[in-house]
Structure formats: C-alpha cells, structure tokens
Structure 1
Amino acid sequence: MTSSHSDTEPTAAEKHHPLLKLALELGPLLIFFFGNLRGEWLAKTFPVLATVGGPLFIATALFMAATVASLIVSKIAFRHLPVMPFVSGIVVMVFGSLSIWLQDETFIKMKPTIVNTLFGAALLGGLFFGKSLLGYVFNAAFQLDVIGWRKLTLRWGIFFLFLAVLNEAVWRNFSDEVWVNFKVWGTMPMTILFTLAQMPLIMRHSLEEQTEGTK
C-alpha cells in the first residue's frame, strides 16, 4: 500500500527547516522538565505561577502554553498542523486543565497513556480493516509495498501500546521526579532507537529500492 496524499508528505518548509520542526516537537517537553525542576524558584520569581499549585502543576501550565505556541508556530511556518502533535496537543489541554483545576496530578500523568493508547489502537485497528494510517500519523515521505506497510504498522502499533503500559508502570510506582525524567529523557530516546531499528525493514520494502533493483 502506498499513499500519495499531500498530507503524508513533508512540506517544503519542513524539508528546509528540520531543526525548527525538531525544536517545536521537543521544546514543550523541555519546558515541562524545566518547570518541574525549578518550580519553586519560578513560583517565587513569578508569584502568579504560585496560584497554579506545586512544581508539577506549574510545569503542566507551562507545558500547555508551550504546546499551544508550538502548534501556532507550526501552522505559520509549515502551513499545516501535523496530526500527531495536534492530537497530542488536544489531550494535553484537556488533561492539563483537569489536573490544574482539580489539583490532581493523575490527569497529566495519564496523558501519555491516553495518547499512546489512542495511536496504538488506531494503527492496529486500521490494520485489522486492511488500511495503514502511518502516512498520516508520521507525516511520512517514503513509499513501501503492501507487506512493508503492514509490518511497519504492526510494529508501531505494538510500540505505542508498550509506551502506554510503561508510562502507567512508571507514574504509579515511582516519584514525580522519576516520572518527569522518564517522560523527557526516557520516552524520546526509546522512540528514536525504535525508529532507527525500523530502517532495515523500510529499505527492504521501499518501492524506490525495488524500482532501482529492476533497472
């Protein structure tokens, strides 16, 4: 299965500004980490933040603001909103607001669980009905044969569900500090390593590689 829909290909701006795209994706997470790490200092320096709650709630408020700013800049710079950051942003706003309003950290801690479960279920559900949604989720530019899409979809679907289960295990059994560090410094490296591990499959099932091989 291949997809030629324009939404599945990076815009010219994304191709020419990959560092900006990366900064917009990682920026809110780094701000969340900083907000939790220096929450007390931020509350003393900016008293208005003290009304939000403790360090984790301050970090959540900053995370929400940074997420909205990131989506706005993405829309302006790239002329569209990537599906995954957009859906994640909606969940951040809903669960972040509930966390601050009810002063209950559970909601923001469950956000990664909800997002990863949503994407995992969507990918595996689409696969069950014979469709691959990877092109829309990852804004992919490569084209694979049918078998390649199926394998890649299955692997990513399972990986998302694995991240959801792992997030639940960490936040329910460890301190806030451990969970925040896991969210920022654990999830991203694991995702990068998993992505790199898929390159052999992508190369093996790439239609471009197959076309060149028949020449």
Structure 2
Amino acid sequence: MAERSIKPWLKSVLELGPPLLFFIAYMRFQDTTLTVAGRDYDGFIIVTAAFVPLLLASIAALWVLTRKISRIQVFTAVLVVVFGALTVWFNDERFFKMKTTLVYGFFAVLLGIGLLRGQSWLQFVMGDLLPMREEGWMVLTKRLAGAFALMAVANELVWRTQSTEFWVTFETFGLPIFLFAVFMSQARLIERFSLSEEEADEKDAR
C-alpha cells in the first residue's frame, strides 16, 4: 500500500500531542483522587488510563492518513499499553515509569547488537533519509547507542529518586530535548561522511 504524505504540522501534532496532553493533564489532576469500586486512584493513575487510548488513537490516525507506521511506534505503543495496563491494574505508577527505561534501553541494546555484528542497524532504518558512507553510520550508531543507554540510566535515577511531578516534566521535556541536542550535535559528522550526489546515485544503482 502506497505511503501518503500529510502536512508536517499535522504529523507533529499527532506524534507530540499525546505526551504534551499527558503532561498538561497530570499538572491539572495530580492532586485529584478518583474512587472506583471502593478503590482510590490518584491523578497519575487517572491520567495514565486516559493516555493509553489517546496514544493508540493518534497512531491509528497516522495510519489512516499516511498508511505507514514505524516499527519504533509499534514497539512503543505495545509497551505503553502493557505498562499502562499494569499501572492501572495494580494501582502502581512505578510500572509506567519503568516503561521509559525499557524503551531507551531496548534501543541501546538493539544498536549495540548490530555494532557487535559489524553493522549499523540505524542505517537500515534511516539510510534513505540520510545518505552517508558506512564508516559515518558506524560512528553515529555508536554515539546514539551511548545516548540511549545514558537516557535509560537517567530515567531510572530520576523516577527512583525524584517526585512524580519532576519525573513527568523530565519525561516530557528533558529526555526529548537531550535526544534532539544529540542529533543536532552530529551535524559535523554527517557533513564529513555525507555522500556526494554521484556516490548516492551509484549506491542506489547497486
């Protein structure tokens, strides 16, 4: 099925909207308690229960509009559903906080396995968007694997030692900003190893 293009702002809204709404909703309802069947649920649990279907709806909308969903989005959605359900079922916010560690830890391990095999699995995912020589991809993959590992460790330290409000802010803004900064800091590497038009055409012709 052919992929469809949509306006960049709409794609950004569908991808970034759910996390931002989670942050806004938590700040609004963090001191709220809801009693269901004699059981009390605090604001974090309530917002988590609402976030899961919202995320699934946004991914479904992306599929309908573009006819394409990345493997990363599918993997993240599965973890959100599983750990969101565990959070609500056991009325324990720790499950949802662990989800972030698992996501970034999985990315770090996956890229690391590729590196041990002498391959850049990041190139397999992003090669069409960023034409670079093989050695450039290996360096970029090493750096991103390290960044993902650092993010996983940072998330563990933050959720175990800081308040839930601090973690929600860190999760929504701190980690994405750090990852964006990591990508932006690779501009010189990308420029150094980028393929010329002739090299890119030759590679595509193979």
What is the TM-score normalised by the length of structure 1?
Answer: 0.82
Does residue 38 in structure 1 map to residue 28 in structure 2? yes
Q: Which has the higher contact order (CA 8 A, sep 6+)?
A: 1
Deviation readout 1:132-177 (Å, 9 max, x if unpaired): 2214555851121110110011111111110000000100001000
Q: Classify 1:85/1:30 alpha carbon distance in 2 versus 1 (closer, same or farther; 3 Å).
A: same
Deviation readout 1:37-69 (Å, 9 max, x if unpaired): 11268878xx98x97821111121122112101
SS at match of 2:41: coil
Instruction: Report if the CA contact (8 A) 2:56-2:77 is conserved.
Output: yes
Does residue 131 in structure 1 map to residue 124 in structure 2? no
The counterpart of 1:163, out of the listed 112, 137, 151, is 151
Instruction: Report if the CA contact (8 A) 2:33-2:40 is conserved.
Output: no
Which residue number in structure 2 is paired with residue 81 of structure 1?
69
Counterpart-to-counterpart distance in 1, 2:127 and 2:10: 16
The code of the aligned residue for 2:89 comes to W
The code of the aligned residue for 2:17 comes to G
The counterpart of 2:174, out of the listed 181, 186, 200, is 186
Map of 1:110-125 to 2, 5 A cutoff? 110-125=98-113
The code of the aligned residue for 2:9 comes to L
Map of 1:145-164 to 2, 5 A cutoff? 145-164=133-152
Deviation readout 1:178-208 (Å, 9 max, x if unpaired): 0001111211111111111112111211113
Counterpart-to-counterpart distance in 1, 2:172 and 2:196: 35
Counterpart-to-counterpart distance in 2, 1:78 and 1:140: 18
The code of the aligned residue for 1:199 comes to A
Counterpart-to-counterpart distance in 2, 1:208 and 1:51: 63
The code of the aligned residue for 1:92 comes to V
The code of the aligned residue for 1:36 comes to Y
Counterpart-to-counterpart distance in 2, 1:24 and 1:41: 28
Does residue 17 in structure 1 map to residue 7 in structure 2? yes
Instruction: Report if the CA contact (8 A) 2:19-2:172 is conserved.
Output: yes
What is the TM-score normalised by the length of structure 2?
Answer: 0.86
Counterpart-to-counterpart distance in 1, 2:137 and 2:170: 30
Displacement of 1:35 in angstroms is 2.0
Map of 1:48-63 to 2, 5 A cutoff? 53-63=41-51
User: Runs of 4 or more off by more than 6 Å in structure 1?
Assistant: 41-44
Counterpart-to-counterpart distance in 1, 2:127 and 2:23: 26
Displacement of 1:21 in angstroms is 2.1
Q: Give unpaired runs (5+ residues) of structure 1.
A: 1-10
- RMSD, matched Cα: 2.5
